[in-house]
Amino acid sequence: MTTTAAPSMRNGVDTATLFATLDAVKQAPEAAAFQFRAHNQWVSGTHSQSSISDYFGVGQDQTHERTFVFDADHPAVLVGTDKGPTPVEYVLHALAACLTAGLGNIAAARGVTLTEVRSTVAGDIDLNGILGLDPDVRNGFQQISVRFEVKGEAPAETLRELVEQSMRRSAVYDILTNQVPVSIEVDAS
Amino acid sequence: MTTTAAPSMRNGVDTATLFATLDAVKQAPEAAAFQFRAHNQWVSGTHSQSSISDYFGVGQDQTHERTFVFDADHPAVLVGTDKGPTPVEYVLHALAACLTAGLGNIAAARGVTLTEVRSTVAGDIDLNGILGLDPDVRNGFQQISVRFEVKGEAPAETLRELVEQSMRRSAVYDILTNQVPVSIEVDAS
């Protein structure tokens, strides 16, 4: 009888590093205090541009390998110039990406090889809210629906459980389904 | 004494079109039912890519002028490959962009010319939540702080009121500070 070590790399996740990171945070929980940031500059009308580069984590200032720059705008039907997606579409992308990243990690940790993951996230919004035309209509999404297509080397039920667990551990899912206190400070001149 | 018509363009916003759009929606409130979408595909590990193109609004299927494509990933300290910002950073960008777009529109509607708008949005997160190491720690942001720098041709108090009003009408601010029902469906094979 021979024993074979489980491979460290699965789904593009280095599970040895993943488990080592978990152990390291267990030893030093304060390393898990992160602050992420986006810096935005108005361009014109509804068009603005954010850069994402610096953050804090593992006890020190960090930077991404490069600065990521994103435009946001409204389309012409919403009196914009369509230079980028609307802000709310970025929220949908964030949810898809968060659930998918978690799925990759969790599948790797459980020894499940994934072969394909696709999702579509749709958010319904009634613009009578943000246009101020109906006080009974909220400004944001009334509901968001996510549809995943997951293929992998495990029974369908196991794959579904991976998505379930990713949802239970998703930062963006938590942000959207629970409340986050937001404070706004204005330096005007 | 002469009367001068207010200029239609201000802050890059065509206020005539803005008010005409408001009137049109008042006449046909069902035109304001929108659905936005993001389509995501897993690449490897925590890296995925979303494309944003199609949406529904003003009673019909619509497409952006081009397809917007975004990568999301975790940085190396979070066992990723840093091919894009983290999902939660996209949420911060979305909030900055939403408040800024609203500010541009509201200032234009009130006849205030803006000269510069910058903001930094910061979100604090304790990764003991998503790592599953502390059941008392939430997965998402514990708080988000926004700092605006606004310059324009109006008293500071007026400029601050514009940001206030933008916050009151912001879709993303509402999404983050209130709850959105999220449903997830999985097609596994």
What is the tens place of the pLDDT at every residue in A160-185? 999 999 999 999 999 999 999 999 99
How far is B47 from chain A, CA to nearest CA, in Å? 6
pLDDT tops 70 at residue A30: yes
The DSSP bridge pattern shows strands B143-152 and B182-188 to be: unpaired
Residues of B in contact with A57 (CB under 8 A): 77-78, 127
Give me the pLDDT at residue B5, please.
Answer: 60
Using a CB-CB distance cutoff of 8 angstroms, which residues of chain B are in contact with residue A35? 122-125
Task: For residue A182, give the nearest of B94, B152, B173 by CB distance.
Answer: B173
Instruction: Spell out which residues of chain A touch residue B143, defining contact as CB-CB under 8 Å.
Output: 180-183
Q: Which amino acid is at B56?
A: F
Chain-chain contact of B42 with A116 (C-beta, under 8 angstroms): yes
- Of residues B25, B125, B170, nearest to A131 (C-beta): B25
- Say what the pLDDT of residue B8 is: 86
Q: What is the 3-state secondary structure (H, E, C) of chain B?
A: CCCCCCCCEECCEEHHHHHHHHHHHHHCHHHHEEEEEEEEEEEECCEEEEEEEEEEECCEEEEEEEEEEEEECCCHHHCCCCCCCCHHHHHHHHHHHHHHHHHHHHHHHCCCCEEEEEEEEEEEEECCCCCCCCCCCCCCCCEEEEEEEEEECCCHHHHHHHHHHHHHCCHHHHHHHCCCCEEEEEEEC
Please name the member of B43, B93, B132 whose beta carbon is closest to the beta carbon of A50: B93
A24 contact residues in B (CB cutoff 8 A) = none
A150 with A117: CB under 8 angstroms?
yes
According to DSSP, the β-strands at B143-152 and A182-188 are parallel
User: What would the pLDDT profile of A99-123 be if each residue is shown by its tens digit?
Assistant: 999 999 999 999 999 999 999 999 9
| Cβ pair B182:A93 closer than 8 A | no
Among partner residues A35, A57, A143, which is closest to B123 by beta-carbon distance? A35
Task: Determine whether the interchain pair B40/A68 forms a contact, defined as Cβ–Cβ distance below 8 Å.
Answer: no
**Closest Cβ opposite residue A40 in set B119, B173, B182:** B119
Confidence of residue A80 (pLDDT cuts 50, 70, 90): very high
Q: Which of B175, B178, B183 to mutate to test the interface with A (most CBs of A within 10 A)?
A: B175
| Average pLDDT score over residue span B166-187 | 98
The ipTM value here is 0.96
Q: What does pTM read for this prediction?
A: 0.96
Residue A81: the pLDDT is 97
Asked whether B71 and B84 are in contact (CB, 8 A), the reply is: yes
Q: Chain A contacts of B172, Cβ < 8 Å?
A: 87-88, 91, 140
| Percent of chain B residues topping a pLDDT of 70 | 96
Q: What is the pLDDT of residues B69-99, one digit of tens each?
A: 999 999 999 999 999 999 999 999 999 999 9
Q: Which residues contact B173 (CB under 8 A, 6 or more apart)?
A: A139, A140, A182, B95, B98, B99, B167
Task: Write phi, then psi, for B101 (nearest 5 degrees).
Answer: -60, -45
- Per-residue pLDDT for B1 more than 80? no
Which one of B35, B77, B79, B121 would you mutate to disrupt binding with A, by most A Cβ within 10 Å of its Cβ?
Answer: B79
pLDDT at A3 over 80: no
Average pLDDT, chain A: 95
Q: What is the pLDDT of residue B105?
A: 96
For residue A2, what pLDDT is reported?
52
List, for residues B123-176, the tens digit of each pLDDT value. 999 999 999 999 999 999 999 999 999 999 999 999 999 999 999 999 999 999
pLDDT at A8: 86
